[in-house]
């Protein structure tokens, strides 16, 4: 956690899902319905700073979120 990092701070957007690794927040944007962000709970500057298994875990969440958005909005 880094107090100077906007992503590490308490989520100000609606949390759609969270586990002990990351959370999915809904960012309300009129131009981008369903716009979500997957945020790590730990402060990591770059995805490439993550160990390979955690990178894979994060990308799995990203893909599930994308698939869900596509199913809901299309």
In a domain, 1, yes or no: no
Domain CATH for 56 = 3.30.428.10
Q: Quote the pTM value.
A: 0.86
Q: Is the Cα torsion angle 46, 56, 42, 36 positive or negative in sign? A: positive
**Band of the pLDDT at 1, cuts 50, 70, 90?**
low
In a domain, 57, yes or no: yes
Q: What is the pLDDT of residues 19-45, one digit of tens each?
A: 999 999 999 889 999 999 999 999 999
In a domain, 4, yes or no: no
Q: What is the pLDDT of residues 9-18, one digit of tens each?
A: 777 789 999 9
In a domain, 32, yes or no: yes
Hey, is 14 helix, strand or coil? strand
In the chain, the number of structural domains is: 1
User: Residue 25 sits in which domain range?
Assistant: 14-73
Lowest mean pLDDT among 3-7, 14-18, 53-57: 3-7
In a domain, 52, yes or no: yes
- Phi/psi of residue 53, nearest 5 degrees: -65, -40
Listing DSSP states for 15-57 in one string gives: EEEE-SSEEEEE---TTSTT-EEEEESS--S-GGGS-HHHHHH
């Amino acid at each position: 956690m880094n107090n100077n990092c906007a992503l590490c701070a308490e989520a100000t957007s609606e949390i759609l899902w969270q586990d002990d690794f990351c959370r999915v927040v809904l960012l309300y944007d009129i131009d981008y319905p369903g716009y979500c962000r997957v945020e790590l709970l730990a402060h990591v500057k770059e995805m490439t700073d993550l160990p390979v298994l955690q990178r894979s875990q994060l990308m799995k969440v990203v893909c599930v979120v994308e698939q869900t958005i596509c199913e809901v909005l299309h």
